[in-house]
Amino acid sequence: MATFEAERGRLWGIAYRITGTVSDADDAVQEAWLRWQALPLDPPVDSPRGFLTTVVSRICYDLLGSARARRERYVGPWLPEPLVDGTGADQLPGSAYGDAPEDRVTLDESVGMALLTVLERLTPAERTAFILHDVFAVPFPDVAEAVGRTPDAVRQLASRARRRVRAEAPRRTVDRAEHRRTVEAFLSAVIGGDLDALLAVLDPEVVWRSDGGGRVSAARRPVLGREKVARYALGLVARGAERGPVRVALQQVNGATGLVFADAAGRQAGVFAFTVHDGRITEVDAVVNPEKLGHVDLDRALTPGQE
């Protein structure tokens, strides 16, 4: 048990990045625990970390493959389940590789909503190879065992994934203070109904994605461009105000400042993640599907002092 618990956080971090869902990550880690328990004590496993990494990665690879068809039938954009600090999102361990070369994705970036959305466009094998090798520094022979390919094949998979991530991942600031100031300016403009201030904080080519999953009202296609996004955001606030009081709070969402909101009646809630570059918001990922928020303790997230 002690050996497994020492690896649990790392295993969960791998599982979440491969699957994009908290529930699948939880299930994968639980299944890995059951398989670990079932192992005979003699002979001992030479490398518990390597064994458990391979097991949980294989489980997630299989889960991701079976989920592809369901996600293609999903109503509207499919976004990963958000992680909100202090409400069940505390299982994100530090990098496995220490001082990473510049061409690798940092651990913070690898859990960001924008990059996870890019990873959705990869094949299950490419995504698994990229996460294992580029983020967690798993050797190619071990990655090959997880996805059932040869080491040379997974090397090519990781290379293709890396090129696509570099080409499609949005530019983003690494300055946390700048990111926070930008999100605060967005919130102030939206609450104040200040269209000019809102336009000033949005990039001309900003993209707004809403994940309602057909369960609640949400845009079924991305909203594109500063004018449309600004008016869409103000419209959401106006309609929400008609239904009654709404609580909103700044929170750390997938490693960066985001927003959490819920109406007083508990009928609708959401988590917003932002991508910021040069002091302007370039992407907004709004998860409002209640099925994707069950793991988030909204009362805690919306309590002052919990940020």
CA atoms of 175 and 279, how far apart (whole Å)? 10
Site of tokens 């859990």:
111
| Predicted confidence (pLDDT) per residue in 250-292, tens digit | 999 998 999 999 987 767 899 999 999 999 999 999 999 999 9
pLDDT for 12 beyond 90: yes
Instruction: Give the residue from 140, 142, 121, 151 showing the smallest Cα distance to 57.
Output: 142
CA gap 159, 33 in Å, rounded: 31
The answer to whether 60 touches 251, Cβ cutoff 8 Å, is no
Classify 194 in phi/psi space as left (phi over 0), alpha (psi -120 to 50) or beta: beta
Q: What is the pLDDT of residue 255?
A: 87
Are 221 and 76 a contacting pair, CB within 8 Å? Answer: yes
Average pLDDT over the chain, rounded to whole?
88
- Phi/psi region, residue 254 (left: phi>0; alpha: psi -120 to 50; beta: rest), is left
Residue 110 in this model has a pLDDT that exceeds 80 = no
pLDDT for res 194: 95
**What 3-state class would DSSP assign to 283?**
strand
Q: Give, to the nearest 10 degrees, the angle between helix 2-19 and helix 22-37.
A: 140
Peptide bond into 43 cis (omega under 30): yes
User: What is the average pLDDT across 180-196?
Assistant: 96
Residue of higher predicted confidence among 12 and 68? 12
Torsions phi, psi for 135 (to 5 deg)? -100, -40
pLDDT of residue 97: 32
CA distance 51 to 36: 9
How many whole angstroms from its chain centre is CA 164? 18
Asked whether the predicted pLDDT for residue 225 surpasses 90, the reply is yes
Q: Please give the share of the chain, as a percent, with pLDDT higher than 70.
A: 91
Is the pLDDT assigned to residue 90 strictly greater than 50?
no
> Taking the CB of residue 126, how many other CB atoms lie within 10 A of it?
22
Q: Long-range contacts of range 70-73, CB-CB < 8 Å, 24 or more positions apart?
A: 71/120
pTM: 0.88
Q: What percent of the chain is modeled with pLDDT above 90?
A: 68
Euclidean distance between CA atoms 123 and 9, whole angstroms: 25
What's the whole-number mean pLDDT along residues 53-60? 96
CB 167 within 8 A of CB 274: no
pLDDT at 102: 37
* The 269-277 sheet, strands edge to edge: 223-224, 202-211, 280-287, 269-277, 256-263, 246-253
What is the SS3 assignment for 198-258? HHHHEEEEEEEEEECCCCCCCCCCCEECHHHHHHHHHHHHHHHHHHCCEEEEEEEECCEEE
pLDDT of residue 95: 34
Is pLDDT of 175 > 50?
A: yes
Which of 62, 7, 65, 61 lies closest to 33, judged by CA? 7
**What confidence score (pLDDT) does residue 94 get?**
38
Q: Of 164, 161, 173, which Cα lies nearest the Cα of 108?
A: 173
Tell me the pLDDT tens digit for each residue of 232-243. 999 998 887 777
| 1-15, 105-119, 192-206: the lowest-pLDDT one | 105-119
Most confident range (mean pLDDT) of 28-42, 121-135, 261-275 is 121-135
Which token pair is 256?
Answer: 């960066």
**Whole-number pLDDT of residue 80:** 94
Task: Say what the pLDDT of residue 239 is.
Answer: 82
